[in-house]
Chains A and B, each alone.
Chain A
Amino acid sequence: MSASAEQATPLAALARAQDALPGGPGWAEWRARALERLLALGLPTPRDDAWKYTNLRILGKRTLVPALPRPLGTVALDVLPPVAGPRLVFVDGRFHPGLSAGALPAGVTLTPFAALIERGQPALLGPALTGPDPSAIDVRIRLLNACFAVDGAVLAVAPDTAVAGPLQIVYVATGGGAYPRTEVELGAGSALDLIEYHVAADDAEAFVALASDLRLGPGARLTHSCFQLAGAHTVLLDDAKVTLAADARYRHRLVALGGQVARLDLRVALAGHGASAELAGLFLADGRREHHVRTLIEHRAPGTRSDQSYRGVATDRARGSYDGKVIVHPGAAGTESRQSSRNLLLGREAAVDTRPQLQIETDDVKCSHGATTGALDEQVLFYLLTRGLDRDTARALLTYAFLGEVLGLLAPEALRRAVEARVLGRLPAAALIREFLA
């Protein structure tokens, strides 16, 4: 995994780019350490198991150097669904007060990441980067983020606070490297509904490496929805790490529609007794897009549950992948885990790869996984044709129905409707299908 000659140049540029970043010597040292470790690991190659399905050629063409603050052109936030509630907007990884709106609800405190940097205390992120990683997962996105993150949201929800209405975070990319950082700490018994959006203009050649760290206290509940509408030339690497204490409950919803190469690495550690995670998502990759979903769920305590349900559609020359691993550690008795990945392959040159993996180190478990990849069912298609639908409409209707299970899980309703409309907009004969659904 040593850096090859052509990789050496951009990495050297990265080291120089660090000098321009804010923060005292503590931060400089911390970032230098992250870069050093990243260099030691080397940039991903197709031989790295974790990067086998991701198009590294496109990654190689992007500048990773962080974008400098600059005057904004038009940022089209009208693509966002009309969901009520406060909104934090980050442009190229920096907080943008002008676009942000709404007051934070009671019980939620926000510390800008930039403020932490000013205070010169990088301790918050230290252990996660330097400590040994027992699950041997790929930490390079996280390291890259650590090298360049200058802003982000550090949110805390007070114990026993059920936050009313969703809290929204919008990540806007206008070009160049963006390294937003999100930290959420949910106190015991609290509840939060968090919605993330990724937005970028289609002509923006952007590289976004987002790192999120979500910690759920005992009995806390978090619904975390991610609506990805990045531009056609955006590379988006989203690395989210979630830790659950006893009886905490985490829900993740992914809707991936945009980007050139978009990848989610979601790690969930069920660390407390009775914790549960429910992950569901869909991707709709058309043209030459790439959508990748990688999940790692670690059952570290007894009585924990996880459930995953992913639907993927790849058309034209698009690529998609689902690589999910469930680890049941010794002692995690009574674990229940389910994993399902279903994929539609609708293009002659489209490709879908799936790897549903189970690694189980104790016997008192009930684990299952299923994965399918195929075309639309010809018999069902035929039935619709006999009902008078033309082939394109019938295919579109079936594709929409295929995603229906995941769409139905989205909340609040304004979000679900917006996603449904977006998905329909991608399919032929959308107007006709809307009529059916009405």
Chain B
Amino acid sequence: MSSTPPDLDQLVGQKYRHGFVTVIDSDTVPPGLDEDVIRLISRKKGEPAFLLDWRLKAYRHWLSMHEPRWAHVRYTPIDYQAISYYSAPKTSSDGPKSLADVDPKLLATYEKLGVPLHERARLAGVAVDAVFDSVSVATTFKARLAEAGVIFCPFSDAVRDHPALLERYLGSVVPPHDNFFAALNSAVFTDGSFVYLPKGVRCPMELSTYFRINAAKTGQFERTLIIADEGSHVSYLEGCTAPMRDENQLHAAVVELIAETDATIKYSTVQNWYPGDEHGVGGIYNFVTKRGECRGQNARISWTQVETGSAITWKYPSCVLRGDNSVGEFYSVAVTNHYQQADTGTKMIHIGRNTRSTIVSKGISAGHAQNSYRGLVKVLPSADGARNYTQCDSLLMGARCGANTFPSVEVRNPTATVEHEATTSKIGEDQLFYLRSRGLSAEDAVNMVVSGFCKTVFKELPMEFAVEAQNLLAVSLEGAVG
């Protein structure tokens, strides 16, 4: 593939398909961060005193911390005082009571994204808690979930309606002082999702939230907390698209998962934030802390992610395997094109006996992009019989991109078995040649090789997501081969 076929040239210039901005009257506080801003956020959300204290503690700790520099990414320093920390869509009353109350412009935005709340959601059997900027505006399927005893609501509703659960679980997996971005999030988070499954409940449907970034110059600080009590089961889907924007935007979310005895949480993500243009201008900084804890025996947490967007991704969905026989899984496809940079991976901390973890990571790098897998597998002395298998493969397209693998394996128990393997290679020219000789276009040939490369991860996604992910991959890599 020494020269670029002409039909691919136009594809290289592929513009971000979801790039549009909905003009909505936002209730935005001026840029800047101090204790008063945090008090304002807390007051606006009508939060109990313990939460404000919690935020302020996190903020004070954040002030003493330094932004991490160890990731294999480069970006211009973030001015935390130039960000507006609160932005809420203005609505006629305190909040929409039903779809009819929802701002029609908002609904139109979802239409463009292909998320018609009232139709496709029902057809797909998916409850969508759509987050627009920082305040949830619509929630569906509440009744059906309530019948099963599942609590699925915006974070701010949970603050109001379930403070006891929140006080018990919030920050118990990702403490506010965990890292720089988690501390920032803990201080200023505005909304997110909350899920609680009571004992023995199997969630009757896939849960899904679409995060959007909309108002200019606002960072998003989402907070997700999912608690699966004993013997419960939930599959949660998170998908992201963001409008086109010239300025870099910070996104520092925190996701906490808690799986008690015999509980299962399956968390799937398709991340397609705006990656910046083909010259590396703009795009989202996605600095996310995701961690799950298997607290009881036989608990299971499974992370599946398809990362195609964001200018910079810094994200390590992790599992703390505390309960005996608990299981952690991480399946990831990360695609970087143009000037995107991704530093992503996982941590598996084996504490309980016979804990098992599986890591499958596929990185695809094209253009001038940098794609790094960074992982830690740690087996503590208590984890008798622990088992880990890790596979990370990287595919390179183009002589100017980079693919890196930075795994750490720390074993403190002689009965553990830990295996790690990784490969990095160029996309197979003979494979492409074969496919083209069978009449496939260059683009289809690349797509086919790439989807074969990613298959082990895609089959872990819920079906409707798998289709979306496959499409997204094709769009992300259009014109990458040349």
Cβ-defined contact, A355 with B409, below 8 A: yes
A353-B410 CB under 8 A given contacts A359-B402, A360-B402, A364-B426: yes
Q: Which residues of B (415-436) have their CB < 8 Å from a CB of A? A: 415-427
- Whether B398 pairs with A353 at a CB distance below 8 angstroms is no
Given A352-B411, A363-B396, A368-B424, 16 other A-B residues pairs in contact with their CB atoms under 8 A: A330-B400, A345-B411, A351-B410, A351-B411, A354-B408, A355-B406, A355-B408, A358-B404, A362-B396, A369-B405, A369-B420, A371-B407, A373-B411, A373-B417, A374-B411, A375-B416
Which residues of chain B from 220 to 279 have a CB within 8 Å of any chain A CB?
A: none
**Which of chain A's residues has its CB closest to B411's CB?**
A373
Question: Is A367 close to B, CB under 8 A?
Answer: yes
| Pairwise interchain contact B425-A365, C-beta atoms closer than 8 A | yes
Nearest Cβ on chain A to B276's Cβ, whole angstroms: 20
Is there contact, CB below 8 Å, between B399 and A330? yes
List residues of chain B with CB within 8 A of the CB of A374.
411, 416-419
Bound CA span A101–B49, Å: 81
Query: Does the CB pair A372–B426 fall under 8 Å?
Result: no
Residues of A within 8 A of B (CB): 49, 330-331, 333, 343, 345-375
Which of A330, A363, A375 is the most central at the interface, judged by chain B CB atoms within 10 Å of its CB? A363
Q: How far is B399's CA from A365's CA once the two chains are assembled, in angstroms?
A: 10
Known: A345-B414, A353-B409. A368 touches B404 (CB 8 A): no
- B residues near A350, Cβ cutoff 8 Å: 414
Given A49, A353, A360, A371, which contacts B424 in the complex, CB threshold below 8 Å? A360
B280 within 8 A of A: no
B412: interface (CB < 8 Å): yes
In the complex, what residues of B have CB within 8 A of residue A362's CB? 396, 399-400
Residue of B nearest to A369 (CB): B422
CA of A356 to CA of B420, assembled, Å: 9
Q: Which residue of B403, B415, B424 is within 8 Å of A375 (Cβ)?
A: B415
Cβ of B50 < 8 Å from any Cβ of A? Answer: no
Q: Which residues of B contact A347 (CB under 8 A)?
A: 414
A279 to chain B, nearest CB (A): 18
B401 beta carbon closer than 8 Å to chain A: yes
The interface residues of chain B lying within 8 Å CB-to-CB of A372 are 417-420
Closest to B387 in A: A374
Of the candidates B405, B414, B416, the one whose C-beta lies within 8 Å of that of A358 is B405
Q: Are B413 and A356 in contact (CB under 8 A)?
A: no
Q: State how many angstroms separate the Cβ of B410 from the closest Cβ of chain A.
A: 5
A357 touches B70 (CB 8 A): no
Contacts of B426 in A (CB 8 A): 363-365
Is B381 engaged at the interface, CB distance under 8 Å to the other chain?
Answer: yes
Interface pair A361/B402, CB less than 8 Å apart: yes
Most buried by A among B394, B415, B420, B427: B420
Instruction: Indicate if B130 sits at the interface (CB-CB under 8 A).
Output: no
Interface of A is mostly: strand
Q: What distance in Å separates the Cβ of B337 from its nearest Cβ neighbour in chain A? A: 13
Sample (11) of A-B pairs whose CB atoms are under 8 Å apart: A345-B413, A355-B406, A361-B401, A363-B396, A363-B398, A364-B399, A365-B426, A368-B421, A371-B407, A372-B420, A374-B416
In the complex, A347→B414 CA distance in Å? 6
Cβ of B425: which chain A residues have Cβ within 8 Å of it? 365-367
Give B350 Cβ to nearest chain A Cβ, in Å.
12
Task: Kindly list chain B residues whose C-beta atoms are within 8 Å of the C-beta of A357.
Answer: 404-407
Q: Which residues of A contact B418 (CB under 8 A)?
A: 371-374
B397 in the interface, Cβ–Cβ < 8 Å?
Answer: yes
Given the complex, which residues of A lie within 8 Å of B72, measured CB to CB?
359
How many angstroms from the CA of A422 to the CA of B418 in the assembled complex? Answer: 29
Beta-carbon nearest neighbor of A323 in chain B: B408
Residues on B with C-beta less than 8 A from A343 are 411
B365-400 near A? 1/0 per residue, CB < 8 Å: 000000000000000010000000000001011111
Q: Which residues of A contact B414 (CB under 8 A)?
A: 345-348, 350, 375
> Chain B's nearest CB lies how many Å from the CB of A34?
26
Residues in A with CB closer than 8 Å to B399 are 330-331, 333, 362-364
Could you say which of B397, B405, B420 contacts A354, with CB atoms under 8 Å apart?
B420
**Which residues of chain A are near B381, meaning CB under 8 Å?**
348-349
Q: Which residues of A contact B397 (CB under 8 A)?
A: 363
Interface residues of B in 10-37 (CB under 8 A from A): none
A271-B407 Cα distance, complex, nearest whole Å: 26
Task: Find chain B residues with CB under 8 A from A366 CB.
Answer: 424-425
Residues in A whose Cβ lies below 8 Å from that of B423: 367-368
Bound Cα distance A369, B421 (Å): 6
Provided the pairs A330-B399, A356-B420, A368-B422 are in contact, do residues A373 and B405 lie with their beta carbons within 8 angstroms? Answer: no
Q: When the two chains form their complex, are residues B407 and A370 in contact, meaning their CB atoms are under 8 A apart?
A: no
Nearest Cβ on chain B to A352's Cβ, whole angstroms = 5
What is the CA–CA distance of A371 and B410 in the complex, to the nearest angstrom? 11
Contact of B407 with A356 in the complex, beta carbons under 8 Å: yes
Given the complex, which residues of A lie within 8 Å of B407, measured CB to CB?
A: 354-357, 371
Residues of A within 8 A of B401 (CB): 361, 363
Q: Are A351 and B422 in touch, CB under 8 angstroms?
A: no
Q: How far is the CA of A107 from the CA of B418 in the complex (A)?
A: 49
CA separation between A244 and B404, bound complex, in Å?
A: 24
State A355–B396 Cα separation when bound (angstroms).
22
- Closest CB in chain B relative to A365 CB, distance in Å: 6
Known contacts A367-B425, A368-B422; is-contact A358 B411 (Cβ 8 Å): no
Q: Which of B26-82 contact A (CB under 8 A)?
A: 70, 72
Instruction: Return B208 CB to nearest CB of chain A, in Å.
Output: 36
The answer for the CA separation of A359 and B399 in the assembled complex, in Å, is 14
CA distance A368 to B425 in the complex (A): 8
Residue of A nearest to B421 (CB): A370
- CA gap between A362 and B397 in the complex, in Å: 9
Docked Cα-Cα span, A350 to B422, in Å, equals: 26
Given contacts A359-B402, A360-B396, contact A375 B422 (CB under 8 A): no
- For B413, the chain A residues whose CB sits under 8 A away are 345
Question: How many angstroms between the C-alpha atoms of A362 and B418 in the bound complex?
Answer: 30
